[in-house]
């Protein structure tokens, strides 16, 4: 395992933000740490990138303990943080050349590498502008490029697309996708289920400083069972009557007073039977939707987080 995390504990004052988090990331794979705000994702990444010391447990990157051999760990990792770690009063090119020289590429090597990366993250035209004039998406791309000056064995991406517009997000996903194809091991944190679903081989769901669930996106989805039917009604009494009429099929109240949910095999026959029964009982249905469980549902079911927190 390239990243090995064992029972990490971290307290801030009397608040326990990590309460025994363990997971592992095999080389060449992408792991998403998924969780709501305050779940402990960023703290975990800060410990793994030697910025914060854990109060308990241990973590190793390629066998090097993050507390005992921080310099060895730092040589193997790169961190692209939630708040772009770029120097705003320097140009994009100066930022990259500075990192290159700090990493011993030499003046010429650093210059060449900076030019390559500027092209790669599509900042060639803005290379000689001060970073303070960059948009949020450009800063994030520069931040990613700075993490790639010396290709890291493990790349940490802490909420790489939080606060980005859809176009920038999609550009970022493409860039990360390319890295993964090149074999970079990535540990990313995200609150976006779509992001985890799209980029990650495995998902570790954390909530309240603990691992709530772990598996491939498909495994997590399958935990919630198969497809479901969502029925909408014109008023509350109709919805309640429908739940009673379909109780034997496992119907339950939906997210609001006007809907009902029941498991389905996804077939047309089941749908017809349900609608017939409601018709016979004289209950009007305004709308029927078939839904496959998404990672959102897993997230909500396992963390109990309100929808407003998941954006």
Partner 1 sequence: MTAPALPRHRSAALAESLVLVGRSVRLSRRDVETLVMAIALPLLMMALFVYVFGGAIETGGAYLTYVVPGIVLLCVGFGAAATAPAVADDMGRGMVDRLRSMPVAAAALVTGHVVASVARNALATGVVVAAAIAMGFRPDAEPLEWAAALGLLLLYVLALSALAAGLGALASSVQSASALTFFMLFLPYLSSAFVPTGTMPAVLRAVAEHQPITPVIETVRGLLTGAPIGSAGWAAVLWCVGLLVVSSGFAAWAYRRRTRR
Binding residues for partner 1, rule: CB under 8 A, are 46, 49-53, 63-65, 68-69, 71-72, 74-75, 77-79, 81, 83-90, 94, 98-99, 101-104, 146
From the CB of 207, what's the least distance to partner 1, in Å? 22
Q: Judged by CB, which is closer to partner 1: 130, or 173?
A: 130
**CB of residue 130 vs partner 1: minimum separation in angstroms?**
8
Nearer to partner 1, 43 or 191 (CB): 43
Residue of 300, 225, 235 lying closest to 264 (CA atoms): 225
CA distance 186 to 237: 51
Q: Which residues contact 128 (CB under 8 A, 6 or more apart)?
A: 91, 92, 93
Give the nearer residue to partner 1 in terms of CB position, either 83 or 292.
83
- In whole angstroms, the minimum distance from the beta carbon of 71 to partner 1 comes to 5
Structure tokens at 36: 């709501």
Contact at 8 Å (CB) between 273 and 284? no
**Which contiguous run of DSSP H or E holds residue 79?**
strand 77-80
* DSSP-assigned letters across all residues of 192-249: -HHHHHHH-SEEEEEETTEEEEEE-HHHHHHTT-S-EEEEE-SSHHHHHHHHHHTGGG
Q: Which of residues 60 and 221 has its CB atom nearest to partner 1 in the complex?
A: 60
* Minimum distance, C-beta of residue 66 to partner 1, in the bound complex (Å): 10
Using CA of residue 69, residue 74, residue 77, residue 82, what is the dihedral sign?
A: positive
DSSP states along 15-50: EEEEEEEEEEE-TT-EEEEE--TTSSHHHHHHHHTT
- Residues whose CB is less than 8 angstroms from the CB of residue 184 and which lie 6 or more positions away in sequence, other chains included: 28, 151, 152, 154, 155
Residue whose CB is less far from partner 1, 145 or 212: 145
In DSSP terms, which residues pair with 252 in a beta bridge? 261
Q: Would you say 25 or 251 has its CB closer to partner 1?
A: 25
Cα distances from 126 to residues 138, 142, 156, in angstroms, run: 9, 10, 25
By beta-carbon proximity to partner 1, the closer residue of 35 and 81 is: 81
- Give min distance, CB of 104 to partner 1, in A: 7
Q: How far is the CB of 194 from partner 1 (least distance, A)?
A: 25
Give the bridge partners for 261, in sequence order: 230, 252
Q: How far is the CB of 45 from partner 1 (least distance, A)?
A: 10
Distance CA 94, CA 146 (A): 11
Least gap, CB of 24 to partner 1 (angstroms): 17
Considering beta carbons, is residue 152 or 217 the nearer one to partner 1? 152
């Amino acid at each position: 395992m390239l990243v090995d995390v064992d029972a990490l504990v971290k307290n801030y004052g009397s608040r326990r933000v990590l309460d025994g988090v363990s997971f592992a990331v095999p080389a060449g794979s992408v792991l998403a740490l998924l969780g709501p705000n305050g779940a402990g994702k960023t703290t975990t990444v800060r410990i793994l990138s030697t910025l914060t010391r854990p109060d308990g447990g241990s973590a190793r990157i390629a066998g090097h303990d993050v507390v005992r051999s921080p310099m060895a760990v730092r040589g193997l990792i790169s961190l692209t943080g939630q708040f772009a770690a770029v120097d705003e009063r320097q140009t994009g090119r100066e930022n990259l050349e500075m990192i290159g020289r700090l990493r011993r590429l030499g003046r010429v090597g650093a210059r060449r590498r900076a030019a390559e990366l500027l092209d790669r993250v599509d900042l060639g035209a803005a290379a000689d502008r001060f970073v303070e004039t960059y948009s949020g998406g450009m800063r994030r791309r520069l931040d990613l490029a700075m993490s790639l000056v010396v290709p890291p064995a493990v790349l940490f991406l802490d909420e790489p697309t939080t606060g980005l517009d859809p176009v920038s997000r999609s550009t970022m996903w493409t860039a990360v996708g390319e890295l993964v194809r090149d074999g970079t091991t990535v540990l990313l944190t995200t609150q976006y289920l779509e992001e985890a679903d799209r980029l990650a081989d495995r998902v570790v769901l954390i909530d309240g400083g603990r691992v709530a669930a772990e598996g491939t996106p498909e495994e997590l989805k399958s935990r919630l069972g198969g497809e479901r039917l969502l029925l909408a009604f014109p008023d509350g009494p109709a919805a309640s009557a429908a739940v009673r009429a379909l109780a034997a099929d496992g119907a339950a109240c939906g997210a609001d007073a006007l809907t009902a949910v029941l498991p389905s095999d996804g077939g047309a026959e089941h749908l017809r039977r349900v609608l017939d029964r409601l018709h016979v009982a004289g209950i009007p249905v305004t709308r029927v939707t078939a839904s496959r469980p998404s990672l959102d549902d897993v997230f909500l079911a396992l963390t109990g987080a309100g929808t407003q927190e998941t954006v």
